[in-house]
Every structure is written in C-alpha cells, then in structure tokens.
Amino acid sequence: MTTPPPSFDDGLDRLEAVVQKLESGQLGLEEALLEFEQGVNLSKALQQQLADAQRRVEVLKQGLGGEYRTDPLDGEPA
C-alpha cells in the first residue's frame, strides 16, 4: 500500500529538512544515502506537482472561442 503524496507545502518543508540534515555533516554514510534518496524522491514528486499545476493553469486559460495561448506564470509578457 502506497502513501498519498504530501501537499506541495508539506513536501517542500520535508525536502528542506532533508537538505538541512545532509548539510549538517553529522550523518553516517548509510543514513546520508537514505536521506539523499528521500530528497530525490521528494524533489521528483514536487516537480510533478508543479507540472500538473502548470497544465491546469494552461487549460483554465483557454479562451471561449477555442483559441489557446499560454502566458508566463510570473505575469511578464511573452
């Protein structure tokens, strides 16, 4: 049974905690490898959540006439 992915904010907090542990230099090799693996998995999950959110924004921006355009998410003109 797999656990559901964390919310984006929770996942980001967990990733930051993993990075802090790794940067502390106080982990043994095996523990550091496990933390690194967890960090990589969290990073992948967060990237997927961002990609999904971007697709949702693009779908929502479709015009009523069927035209399709994408604009940068930061509000700058394309």
For the chain, the structural domain boundaries read 28-60
Provide DSSP, 35-59. Answer: HHHHHHHHHHHHHHHHHHHHHHHHH
Can you tell me the distance from the alpha carbon of 53 to that of 73, in angstroms, rounded to the nearest whole number?
11
Task: Give pTM, 2 decimals.
Answer: 0.68
Judged against a pLDDT cut of 60, whether residue 76 lies above it is answered with: no
Q: What is the average pLDDT across 45-54?
A: 92
Burial class for 42, CB neighbours closer than 10 Å (0-12, 13-18, 19+): buried
Q: Of 73, 53, 49, 69, nearest to 61 (Cα)?
A: 69
Can you tell me the distance from the alpha carbon of 50 to that of 67, in angstroms, rounded to the nearest whole number?
24
Give pLDDT, residue 63. 58
